[in-house]
Amino acid sequence: MIKARSTFLAALLAVAAPYASAAEITVSAAASLGNAFKEIAAQYEKQYPQDKIRLNTAGSGTLLQQVLQGAPVDVLAFADQETMDKAAGKGVIDTQTRRDFALNSLVIAAPLNSKLRIGKLSDLESERFGRIAVSNPAGVPVGRYSKAVLEKAGLWQTLQPKIINTQHVRQSLDYVARGEVDAGFVYHTDAALMKNKVKVLKTVPTEKPVSYPIAVTKQSKAAAEAKRFTAYVLSPKGRAVLEKYGFKKP
């Protein structure tokens, strides 16, 4: 009888073991990661059904401000190193968990039916380009990358009357797709999501690589599970999803 009870207890513990470390993990990810991270989260939950991923996407600067204001976040994934550097400087992240996991590229996109062409950046000065979408460089990485290349070309100030500021890259993409602007600075991966509505006029080299870092926050109440999720993003399965959406391996 004792042996039977011991066997039953052992079996019960074996079943319960995978669920012993269960948590709801809040992942704040840059807007450009939305589609890829949604798929990664779904795959992760299938492998670890005891965990639940809450995905929060916005501009990287907005995500950082949310954490600084006390929002409960376990994992941060930004579209640039500068924002993660700020998070580290504010003591927000566990720096030992910081990893670079993806690369992207900056492009100028236009509505699919547009007849416009761009040979060099100065072509944006042409009256043919009346409205150009650029995300706010004060808090959005794609905006900072865009401003940097335009400043280097001596165009940032001259193009100000044409520039329509957006909250994040997906809003810029939406404006382009709906034809509300003549062109917009977005990421290669975003333009690829809407091939039926937008086209790439030019790939714009950036001085700094468009590099994506990920880290676990110090405030996380589910640090072990958060680390498990970041490891999944960096795993072959996670990288396969990222590559599917056009992100490159760093």
What structural domains and CATH numbers belong to the chain? Answer: 2-103+210-244 (3.40.190.10), 106-204 (3.40.190.10)
Q: What is the pLDDT of residues 53-106, one digit of tens each?
A: 999 999 999 999 999 999 999 999 999 999 999 999 999 999 999 999 999 999
| 190 has a pLDDT exceeding 60 | yes
pLDDT bracket for residue 2 (50, 70, 90): very low
φ, ψ (nearest 5 deg) of residue 188? -55, -45
Q: For the ranges 14-23, 177-186, 215-224, which has the lowest average pLDDT?
A: 14-23
Residues 6+ apart with CB under 8 A from 76: 28, 29, 63, 64, 67, 84, 87, 92, 93, 214, 215, 216, 217
Residue 130 to residue 114: CA distance in whole angstroms: 13
Residue 170 reports pLDDT greater than 80: yes
Is the pLDDT reported for residue 13 higher than 60? no
What share of the chain has pLDDT > 70, as a percent?
92
CA–CA gap between residue 138 and residue 78 (Å, rounded)? 15
Q: Phi, psi (5° rounding) for residue 54?
A: -105, 110
More confident residue, 2 or 204: 204
Buried/exposed code over 173-210 (b: 16+ C-beta within 10 A; e: otherwise): bbbbbeeebbbbbbbbbbbbbbeebbbbbbebebeeeb
Average pLDDT in the 218-245 region? Answer: 97
Task: State yes or no: 187 annotated in a binding site.
Answer: yes
Averaged confidence pLDDT in the chain: 92
Please state, in angstroms and as integers, the Cα–Cα distance from residue 206 to each residue in 41, 57, 77, 147, following that order: 30, 24, 20, 10
Known binder of ligand: residue 6? no
Question: Could you tell me the pLDDT band of residue 41, with boundaries at 50, 70 and 90?
Answer: very high
172 known ligand binder: no
As a whole-number percent, the residues of the chain with pLDDT over 90 amount to 90
Q: What is the pTM of this model?
A: 0.85
What Rg, from alpha-carbon coordinates, does the chain have? 21
> Residue 245 annotated as binding?
no
Q: Half-sphere exposure of residue 47, counting CA atoms within 13 Å on the CB side?
A: 15
Strand partners, 165: 134
